[in-house]
Chains A and B, each alone.
Chain A
């Protein structure tokens, strides 16, 4: 029988069992890496941050209170790692300029059609909007979970999601007009 996240987390908390944590990594790596890929738009950096996220989660697993899901707890750590990484590159603004400059120069677009479209669409959003949209649509977090993870007020998160969503809708509508 497959152990639940809660059971595995309890095992990791009690014994620091690396194998149990490995199973949690297998289950949630897609969400965490997907979220960081969409936020960073640099696959190598995103994977490094995802690795740091899981190592940090292993080290501080005792602080997981179980009030939310393990996945949203991981996403909040991933968001912190993302912010730390942005700060390391001197300032978030400089990082935003890089995000806003289109596809990254160091990496050719992958052959994923819609994925490239999605990434391009996400560059039209402000950082807070992109974070809120990615958390809610990519990670499946609720508005309140996203608010808790980012430390933003619930109303602010809702506004960011709605604004971001409207911008994406406009972007895709325009893209369809151009294509047809």
Chain B
């Protein structure tokens, strides 16, 4: 506890007066808004690190996918055969990479609790 004489009151009043501009509504709102925005959005470093790691991972996986899909047996006749051009190993590998990159893009804006 601080003492409670005249000088004490004067000192408290001086500190209160010094803090007065900071307690104005606009000032408080601006400071809080800036801070909340910072807490709501992940920082750039994290985005770059995760984005970089995700992209490299996807690229490495993509180079392997073509070999995997190359082993698939595609029917020579029937309905599926009409769309066989869509299921070329390159197309499937590109789709898998797009999916992986899409997942990375989905996860990036989320903050890890």
Contacts from A to B (Cβ < 8 Å): 16, 18-19, 21-23, 25-26, 29-31, 33-34, 37-38, 47, 50-51, 54-55, 58, 112, 114-115, 117-119, 134, 136-138, 142-143, 161, 165, 168-169, 172
Which residues of the partner chain A approach B14 to less than 8 Å between Cβ atoms? 114-115, 117-118
Segment of B33-41, B45-53, B55-63 in the binding face: B33-41
The residue from A16, A31, A55 contacting B38, defined by CB atoms under 8 A apart: A55
Nearest CB of A to B28, in Å: 5
Contact of A137 among B15, B29, B33 (CB under 8 A): B15
Structural contact, B31 and A33, CB atoms closer than 8 A? yes
Tell whether, in the assembled complex, residue B18 and residue A112 are in contact, meaning their CB atoms are under 8 Å apart: yes
Residues of B within 8 A of A38 (CB): 15, 18
Do B2 and A136 touch across chains, with their CB atoms under 8 A apart? yes
- The answer to whether A115 and B17 have CB atoms under 8 Å apart is yes
Which residue of B has the minimal Cβ distance to A133? Answer: B11
CB-CB under 8 A for A30 and B35, given A114-B14, A142-B1, A168-B11? no
What is the interface of chain B mostly: helix, strand, loop, or mixed? helix
Q: What residues of A have a CB within 8 angstroms of the CB of B31 in the complex? A: 25, 29, 33, 47, 50
Residues of A within 8 A of B28 (CB): 26, 29-30
Residues of B within 8 A of A (CB): 1-3, 7-8, 10-12, 14-15, 17-19, 21-23, 28-29, 31-36, 38-40, 113
A165→B54 CA distance, assembly (Å): 58
Distance (Å) between the CB of B43 and the closest chain A CB? 10
Query: Cβ of B12 and Cβ of A115 under 8 Å apart?
Result: no
Contact B19 A143 (CB under 8 A): no
Q: Which residue of A lies closest to B19 (CB)?
A: A34
Contacts of B22 in A (CB 8 A): 29-30, 33-34, 37
Closest to B2 in A: A136
10 A-B interface contacts by CB (under 8 A):
A21-B39, A26-B32, A29-B22, A29-B31, A33-B22, A33-B31, A51-B35, A112-B17, A118-B18, A138-B18
Tell me the minimal C-beta distance from A62 to chain B in angstroms. 11
> Are A58 and B39 also in contact (CB < 8 A) when A168-B11, A169-B7 are?
yes
Report yes or no: B113 in contact with A16, Cβ–Cβ below 8 A: yes
Distance between Cα atoms of A36 and B32 in the complex (Å): 16
A166 to B81 CA separation, bound complex (whole angstroms): 94
Residues of B within 8 A of A137 (CB): 2, 11-12, 15
